[in-house]
Structure 1
Amino acid sequence: MTLAQAVSQETSDSLQHFVARHRRLFVLTGAGCSTDSGIPDYRDADGGWKRAQPVTYQAFMGEALTRQRYWARSLIGWQRFGKASPNATHLALARLEQSGKVQLLLTQNVDGLHQQAGNSQVVDLHGRLDSVRCMGCEHRSPRHVLQNALLELNPAWARLDAVDAPDGDADLDGHDFSTFDVPACSRCGGILKPDVVFFGENVPRDRVATAMQALEAADAMLVVGSSLMVFSGYRFAHSAAKAGKPIAAVNLGRTRADPLLSLKVEQSCAEALAFL
Structure 2
Amino acid sequence: MLSNPVPEAAQRLRQWFASHRRLFVLTGAGCSTGSGIPDYRDADGQWKRTPPVTYQAFTGDAHTNARYWARSFIGWPRMAQAHPNDVHRALSRCEAEGRITTLVTQNVDGLHQRAGSREVIDLHGRIDTVVCLGCGERHSRAEMQERLSAMNPAWSGLDAATAPDGDADLEGHDFSRFDVPACERCGGMLKPDVVFYGENVPRPRYQQALAALTASDAVLVVGSSLMVYSGYRFVRQATEAGVPVAILNRGRTRADDLAGLKLEADAGAVLTAALG
Which category of TM-score, normalised to the shorter sequence, fits these structures? over 0.9
Distance between the aligned counterparts of 1:204 and 1:101, measured in 2?
Answer: 27
Distance between the aligned counterparts of 1:120 and 1:271, measured in 2?
Answer: 22
Distance between the aligned counterparts of 2:212 and 2:36, measured in 1?
Answer: 30
What corresponds to 1:129 in structure 2? Answer: 127
Distance between the aligned counterparts of 2:17 and 2:54, measured in 1?
Answer: 37
Shift of the alpha carbon at 1:6?
A: 8.4
Gaps of 5+ in 1: none
Q: Is the 8 A contact 2:6 2:270 kept in 1?
A: no
Distance between the aligned counterparts of 1:6 and 1:34, measured in 2?
Answer: 20
Distance between the aligned counterparts of 1:246 and 1:211, measured in 2?
Answer: 17
TM-score by length of 2: 0.97
Query: What RMSD in Å do the two structures reach over aligned CA positions?
Result: 1.2
Shift of the alpha carbon at 1:10?
A: 2.4
Partner letter of residue 198 of structure 1? F
Distance between the aligned counterparts of 2:151 and 2:8, measured in 1?
Answer: 56
> Which residue of 85, 89, 92 maps to 1:91?
89
Distance between the aligned counterparts of 1:5 and 1:23, measured in 2?
Answer: 26
Q: Identity across aligned pairs (percent)?
A: 62
What corresponds to 1:20 in structure 2? Answer: 18
Partner letter of residue 58 of structure 1? Q
Query: RCO greater where, 1 or 2, for CA within 8 Å and sep 6 or more?
Result: 2
Change (3 A) 1:271 1:136: same
Distance between the aligned counterparts of 1:49 and 1:261, measured in 2?
Answer: 23
Q: Is the 8 A contact 2:102 2:120 kept in 1?
A: yes
> Which residue of 97, 100, 107 maps to 2:98?
100
TM alignment of 1:146-165, pairs within 5 A? 146-165=144-163
Shift of the alpha carbon at 1:56?
A: 0.2
Distance between the aligned counterparts of 2:6 and 2:132, measured in 1?
Answer: 48
> Which residue of 166, 174, 177 maps to 2:175?
177
Distance between the aligned counterparts of 2:210 and 2:222, measured in 1?
Answer: 18
Q: Is the 8 A contact 1:265 1:272 kept in 2?
A: no
Q: Is the 8 A contact 2:5 2:265 kept in 1?
A: no
Distance between the aligned counterparts of 1:173 and 1:19, measured in 2?
Answer: 46
Q: Is the 8 A contact 1:133 1:195 kept in 2?
A: yes
Distance between the aligned counterparts of 1:89 and 1:206, measured in 2?
Answer: 28
Higher mean C-alpha deviation, range 106-115 or range 149-158: 149-158
What corresponds to 1:221 in structure 2? Answer: 219
Matched, 1:112 2:110: yes
What corresponds to 1:202 in structure 2? Answer: 200
SS at structure 2 position matched to 1:159: coil
TM-score by length of 1: 0.97
Aligned length: 273
Deviations 1:18-44 (CA, angstroms, capped at 9, x unpaired): 112201000000000000100000000
SS at structure 2 position matched to 1:195: strand
Gaps of 5+ in 2: none
What corresponds to 2:190 in structure 1? Answer: 192
SS at structure 1 position matched to 2:118: coil
Shift of the alpha carbon at 1:191?
A: 0.3
> Which residue of 72, 75, 82 maps to 1:74?
72
What corresponds to 1:143 in structure 2? Answer: 141
Shift of the alpha carbon at 1:11?
A: 2.5
